[in-house]
Amino acid sequence: MDNASLTTAPIVLTPGEVDLAALRRVHAGGVQLALAPSARAGLVAAQATVRKIIDAGAVVYGINTGFGKLAQTIIPTERLAELQRNLVLSHACGTGEPLDAGVVRLVLATKAVSLARGHSGVRPEIVDALLALCNAGLSPRIPSKGSVGASGDLAPLAHLACVLIGEGEVTTPQGEVIGGAEALKRIGIAPFVLGPKEGLALLNGTQVSTALALAGLFGAEDVFAAGIMAGALSLEAIQGSVKPFDARIHIARGQPGQIAVAAAMRALLDGSEIVPSHADCGRVQDPYSIRCVPQVMGACLDNLAHAARVLRTEANAASDNPLVFAGPEGTSGAGDVISGGNFHAEPVAFAADIIALAVAEIGAISERRMALLLDSGLSGLPPFLVRDGGVNSGFMIAQVTAAALASENKSLAHPASVDSLPTSANQEDHVSMATFAGRRLADMVQNTAVVVGIEAMAAAQGIELKRGPKSSPLLEAEFAAIRERVAFIDQDRFLAPSIEAMRSWARRSDWPEAVRSMLPSQA
């Protein structure tokens, strides 16, 4: 991370109040993070509660016992530091490619926020260290596989915790892989000797699942916006009817996402010269992939909005176990330490599955519009959008690529949350699989970005093949942005670079306000 790119004012993380816009900025990088000063009192109080339990000689799960199936094993006070260190090392069993830097930043930020809720019993210095790693662009190498999403993301979070005790590995902003102790040295922190409850608090929690799902949500928003834009361009390319976007139709049904998408389509088409140029063409109904953009994309938007609400809540949640509830201020009461199951990531798994359905549908309807553009009987455009067909194949195989990726997404959209495999000698007998549910979203978003990018490239080709009246100012600006990336295809050429350029187009976030205002993290 280039320090010159950092904003001067840090994002202040207030536990319980961190919003999606801030989390999107954390994922994108180039920001500094700071903990709200108001959170420190809760951290100190919870740690004091843990200390009172130790001093009183009480036996409390997670503080001076074994874990999981070993919860009945009492650990003597002089071995508690050893217990916490062994817990971290023994649970660092992840495998697979490391999570990317954007996801790791989200993990660090949300783990800091969760601990700072004041129910985990850790020192404030632990939270400070997590934020210092993030601010320095030092990414703990967290393997992407090995969590079932309950009892928290144990294995991946153990790899994060390893760094705090001077173990594990870290990737620097320059891509260098260094040891955990060296990473801490670079930010002026000595390796921690973990106190009672601290190792367990770091390992328990849903932060990896949540970070993966948040990254998937942000990517889904990008391709959703691209899908709206591509759909509007395709409508102009086939000279489709705008009557299906009449506000009265959508108000009569009442679905909020549908109403919003129809309004966005009207805004994108406002001022088009193409629309009135075919007012008397006699066209009554377009295929569903054009006519039902508000209904399909609106349903996707409603699902993304629901998932966003769940993930925002979870990003602010205290999700480790047991939870510490400090006694009333000014009293001698030790407070309560209560075992529960907030580490079970079922809400995250459902949210990720809902995002997956939306991402798959965005790509599915886009691929159908792409196929429509190539069908001269329906579109009125040259077959496969190229002149001198036969000698030239045009977009024939680009549509095959889109179909392959849309079909792949159908398999990836199978809900992960319906699966469960018991672990820990049946103590953890139902799990969420939320980590995979979130992780697979990255592949799905990339697939859909390619599909929507191909559609937009094809729509621009169709508009240019019929070039006469201009489209709306917003769509003409988007047409120009596409042409900056890919040229008109007058004869067959190597298309893979153009497809990659359009994938990047679909992963943008700087969409017109008419589209961007619908997105949960940018509204």
Residue type, 413: A
Residue carrying the six token digits 């959209």: 413
As a whole number of angstroms, the distance between CA 350 and CA 418 comes to 9
As a whole number of angstroms, the distance between CA 480 and CA 476 comes to 6
- Measured from the Cβ of residue 362, the count of other Cβ atoms closer than 10 Å reads 33
For residues 369-379, one letter each, b for 16 or more C-beta atoms within 10 angstroms of the residue's C-beta and e for the rest, the string is: bbbbbbeeeeb
Residue 420 — φ and ψ, nearest 5°?
-160, 140
Decide if 235 contacts 215 (C-beta within 8 A). Answer: no
Decide if 502 contacts 485 (C-beta within 8 A). Answer: yes
As a whole number of angstroms, the distance between CA 523 and CA 519 comes to 5
The burial of 480, by beta-carbon neighbours within 10 Å (0-12 exposed, 13-18 middle, 19 or more buried), is given as exposed
- The DSSP code for 279 is T
Residue type, 93: C
Decide if 147 contacts 154 (C-beta within 8 A). Answer: yes
3-state secondary structure of 178: strand
For residues 467-477, one letter each, b for 16 or more C-beta atoms within 10 angstroms of the residue's C-beta and e for the rest, the string is: eeebbbebbbe
Residue type, 345: A
The sign of the CA dihedral 121, 126, 130, 135 is: positive
Query: Is 61 in the active site?
Result: yes
Alpha carbons within 13 angstroms on the beta-carbon side of residue 366 total 40
Cα angle 12, 14, 20 (rounded to 5 degrees) comes to: 80
Three-state SS sequence of 2-33: CHHHCCCCCEEECCCCCCHHHHHHHHHCCCCE
As a whole number of angstroms, the distance between CA 458 and CA 274 comes to 17
Bridge partner list, 145: 95
As a whole number of angstroms, the distance between CA 56 and CA 450 comes to 61
Q: Which of 36, 61, 179, 255 is catalytic?
A: 61
What is the set of active-site residues?
A: 61
